[in-house]
Structure 1
Amino acid sequence: MFSSHRTLKRRTPAQGIDRREYIGHLVDEYYTTTNIEAQQQVTANLANFAYDPINWSHLLEADALDVFVASLETQDQLLKVHGIAALCNLCLDKTAAKFIREQLKLLTGLFVRTDHPEIVLHSLALFYQLLEFGERTERDLLLSPAVLRTVQEWRVKAHDERIVKLCQLLLQDFATRTEVVQLQKASPNVPTAEQQSSEAGASG
């Protein structure tokens, strides 16, 4: 059993180990270890592989997407961050995107309940990409009233400008005018996304 990247490297044969095999070892390690820090190391490594499209086929073949989904169902915040970050990067792959869309209930539930800014950031980026490249019929599944309310809340309270901007873009590009009006009525003292954008431009 490999307990860390260092251990795996030490046990690697002198002639080396190819990327596909290494990713497979990491996936196996996630399921065989009971050490949370080892799982964090594994998901961090797998998430790093997800940043490069050259690794996507290897991750799919090794069933790494199941690891990322499993990490979202844990109680550990760091595992959740790694899982959602990886899915965000992988969603541009058509096969991965289909798998991810089957997890929309889990993903939106996580977004609505979390108070972790990094999870929110990656969730917003993931939602935007799914909406941008997906079927219009999926919009209602993804942008439920609960999700829209949460987007509005983070648009107001977030200190991270990346989160604020993504919230604005989601509302501007994918929410209907009626939904935006309803959100505004629910929070009458909160400026609309368009007003915030205008104010930001005027102050710039």
Structure 2
Amino acid sequence: MFSKKEDLIRKTGEDGIGRLQYLETLVKEFNETKSKDAKKQILANLANFAYDPINYEYFRRLQIIPLFLDAISSSTDETIIYFSSAGLCNLCLDPLNQQIIHRYDGIKYILSTILNTTIGVNNHDETLLNCLTTLMYLTTSETQSQIIKNSQLKTQLEHFVQDSNNIRIKNLAQIFLTDYFQLKCTPSKIRNILNHNNFKQFSTIVNTRKKFNVGDKVTIGRNISIEDVKLFSEMTGDFNTIHFNGDKSVIHGAFLNGLVSGVIGSKLPGPGTLVVEQTLKFPNKCYVNDYIQITVELVEIKKIIHFVKYVCMVDEKIVLEGNAKLVFKE
């Protein structure tokens, strides 16, 4: 859940350490420390703070966006680049933040990272996902010509589609090629894509998409039996005894999240959806044989980026709730 300013004041108090002061401390320490490990930890913290729009005003005031861009462009450390790319990805949907990224020539640095990152190595795949998503956010009618004139980018994206074992990278690269390079797929190219690795559902995705509107929601219901729990435990290796306690057997939280994922991936928005970020809370326990209602609601649409909120209910009790940021090509 996103914070509100009044909540921050209530939590920190008038004389407590507020959000701005804490961020100032992080930035000061980042600029002064000689420790690479300390810089990594600070960037990780800043990337997390970048997820909450309440912090954007502080980020602009403290020049944190240029800090991310400088780190991604000047560092050779893959972890520093990863955390910096995550921070940019988290905040770049905001129009004012986009202006700052453009002002500091951020597209050039993001493109360079995409072109110089090798797939399938350590944090590289996550860095690529961050940069590809950020580049999609930044691609507008004004910037598209600048981006697509880069022939190396097109070659790199085609390489990702053909050779990456990461289905999220393959999908994002394919979407980028189709939407922004106006790629014309011949039947032979489509067959090659369909036959390569895990990219098997392309034809189904194309045929089953539906346009949704903000406020649309889907609710499904089901019971979870002890047999379901046993199967899930065997797949995950989680045999915690709390999941095998007779009528008080607690359902795995990841199982509940899987039910949410099923709705997102098959019904709203549906096939082709990629979860970029999500939050989860488990206010109450869910037990074996409880009847669970899973509701997913679309709360915001910005181009290919969709935001949903979801809740799992047992009677009037919330057992899971959260939000997710999705990539979805209509």
Pick the TM interval, shorter chain.
0.7 to 0.9
Question: SS of 1:16's equivalent?
Answer: coil
Runs of at least 4 residues off by over 4 Å: 192-196, 199-202
Equivalent residue, structure 2, for 1:9: none
Distance, in Å, in 1 between the alignment partners of 2:166 and 2:200 is: 18
Superposed, 1:96-107 pairs within 5 Å as: 96-101=97-102, 102-107=105-110
In structure 2, distance between residues paired with 1:118 and 1:175:
23
Which of the numbers 87, 112, 116 marks the counterpart of 1:113?
Answer: 116
1:191 alignment counterpart: 193
- Match of 1:83? 84
- RMSD over equivalenced CA pairs, Å: 2.7
Query: Within 5 A, what are the aligned runs for 1:31-70?
Result: 31-70=31-70
Separation in structure 1 between the aligned mates of residue 110 and residue 192 of structure 2, nearest angstrom:
27
- Counterparts of 1:108-147 in structure 2, within 5 Å, are 108-115=111-118, 116-131=124-139, 134=140, 136-143=141-148, 144-147=150-153
Q: Deviations over 1:87-108 (max 9, x none)?
A: 1111111121012232211110
Distance 2:27 2:90 in 1: 18
SS of 1:75's equivalent in the other structure is: coil
More helix by proportion, 1 or 2?
1
Matched-pair identity in %: 27
Once the two structures are superposed, residues 38-61 of structure 1 have per-residue CA deviations (whole angstroms, 9 ceiling, x without a partner) of: 000110000000011111111111
TM-score, scaled to structure 1: 0.78
Q: What amino acid is the match of 2:59? A: L
Residue of structure 2 in register with 1:74 after alignment: 75
Residue 76 of structure 1 deviates from its aligned partner by: 0.8
- How far the C-alpha of 1:29 sits from its partner, in A, is 1.1
Q: Distance in 2 between matches of 1:177 and 1:93?
A: 28
Bigger relative contact order, structure 1 or 2 (CA pairs below 8 A, ≥6 apart)? 1
One-letter code of the match for 1:27? Answer: V
- Alpha-carbon separation, structure 2, partners of 1:50 and 1:106: 19
Q: Secondary structure at the match of 2:109?
A: helix
TM-superposed deviation, 1:16: 2.7
Gaps of 5+ in 1: 1-14
Hey, what's the Cα distance between the residues in 1 that align with 2:78 and 2:183? 35
1:129-175 deviations in Å (ceiling 9; x for gaps)? 112xx2x1311222311111111111222222211111111112111
Q: Is the 8 A contact 2:110 2:135 kept in 1?
A: no
Which of the pair is proportionally richer in strand?
2
My pick for the range that moved more, 191-200 or 89-98, is: 191-200
CA distance in 1, matches of 2:91, 2:61: 13
How far does residue 177 in structure 1 lie from its aligned partner after superposition? 3.8
Q: Is the 8 A contact 1:30 1:67 kept in 2?
A: no
Kindly indicate whether the alpha-carbon contact (under 8 Å) linking 1:124 and 1:166 is maintained by their aligned counterparts in 2. yes
C-alpha change, 1:93 and 1:199, in structure 2 (3 Å) is: closer
Which amino acid counterpart does residue 132 of structure 2 have in structure 1? L
**Contact 2:85/2:127 (8 A) holds in 1:** yes
Aligned length: 180
1:173 aligns with 2:179: yes
The amino acid of 1:198's aligned partner reads S
Is the radius of gyration larger for structure 1 or structure 2? Answer: 2
Q: Tell me the equivalent position of 2:232.
A: none
**One-letter code aligned to 1:91:** C
Distance 1:64 1:39 in 2: 13
Q: Which amino acid aligns with 1:122?
A: N
Q: 1:196 to 1:145 in 2, by over 3 A?
A: farther
Q: Is the 8 A contact 1:90 1:96 kept in 2?
A: yes
